[in-house]
Amino acid sequence: MPIAVELRKLIRSGIHRIGELEIQTDVYGYPYVLCHWLDSGLATESALGGLELHEGPETAREISTFAENGTYRFIKGQVNLKRGWVMALQTEEELRQALDQFYPASVGLFLAHRHGALEIENLRDKLQRQTGMYRFARTISDAGAQELVRTVCGPAHQCAKRILWQIDAHTPLDDSEASRFAGVPGDLPPAEAIPLLCREACNHFVAECRRVAKTEAGQKAG
């Protein structure tokens, strides 16, 4: 079934949130409206509550590139999406295109996970396939990697994804706020949101592994 059709079914089943986005339906004649969830009350007020109107999905990347303080959101799961705007969309396909800009592949990953078709890659496998300057990252210790999850991942460190991977097949992540996080920012029942899923460590995490691996190697040599 096409992703856009599945998305429509999800919304009809009561899902109205993905990441920091609130998905509203039938607002002022628009079939779908997106905004920051903290602005969702404004979006239904007259004149859209003063929110800046964006028609169509084309500006989704522009809205989501920088945080309010100007920092570059190179990881889209960061919990610092700008507020003050509302995006009006005419079709499920437009909605899908917008969501793929705000949270790349997240709807598809969620659907694959539901259908049991999501391939999860553990950290050791991810590091093992790195070449070039990132090859060295594979030398990181398990303890170093576990510590990195605590200090790099999770909403406290600006990432709202639910981590699905382990260190390796026999080594789950240590319990922490990051490893426990369900992928839904804000307090919402799981049935009302599409969680952001992390099926393998991102390249930012790999770069951090390389940094820690270099430090560990230096300590051994010293």
Partner 1 sequence: MSIAPKPHSALLIVGHGSTENPDSSTPYFDHAAEIRRRQLFAEVHCGFWKEEPSMREVLYQIDSDEIYVVPDFISEGYFTQDVIPRELELSGPTTVVRGKTLHYCLPVGIHPHMTDIILRRAREVAPGLDPAQTTLIITGHGTGLNQNSTKAIRDQVNLIIASATGYAAVLDSYMEEQPFIADWHQLSKTPNVIVVPFFISDGLHSYQDIPVLIGIEPEIGPAASQREVFRHNPHHLRGKTLYYCSAIGTERLLADVILDQVSDFDQIHKLL
Binding region for partner 1 (CB under 8 A): 2-3, 58, 61, 65-66, 72, 74-76, 100, 104-105, 107-109, 111-112, 117-119, 121, 129, 131-132, 199-200, 202-204, 207
The span from the CA of 173 to the CA of 169, in Å, is 11
Nearer to partner 1, 76 or 82 (CB): 76
Nearer to partner 1, 49 or 211 (CB): 211
CA 165 to chain CA centroid, Å, is 15
Nearer to partner 1, 19 or 154 (CB): 19
Residue 61 exposed, middle or buried by CB count within 10 Å (0-12, 13-18, 19+): middle
DSSP string, 43-68: HTSGGGGGPEEEESGGGHHHHHHB-T
CA 189 to chain CA centroid, Å, is 18
CB of 21 to partner 1, least distance (A): 15
The span from the CA of 211 to the CA of 139, in Å, is 11
- Partner residues linked to 197 by β-bridges: 162
- Partner residues linked to 86 by β-bridges: 35, 53
Query: Which segments of the chain are extended strands (E)?
Result: 17-18, 21-27, 30-36, 52-55, 85-89, 162-163, 193-194, 197-198
Backbone angles phi, psi at 17, to 5 degrees: -145, 140
CB of 72 to partner 1, least distance (A): 5
Nearer to partner 1, 28 or 66 (CB): 66
Nearer to partner 1, 28 or 74 (CB): 74
Nearer to partner 1, 42 or 111 (CB): 111
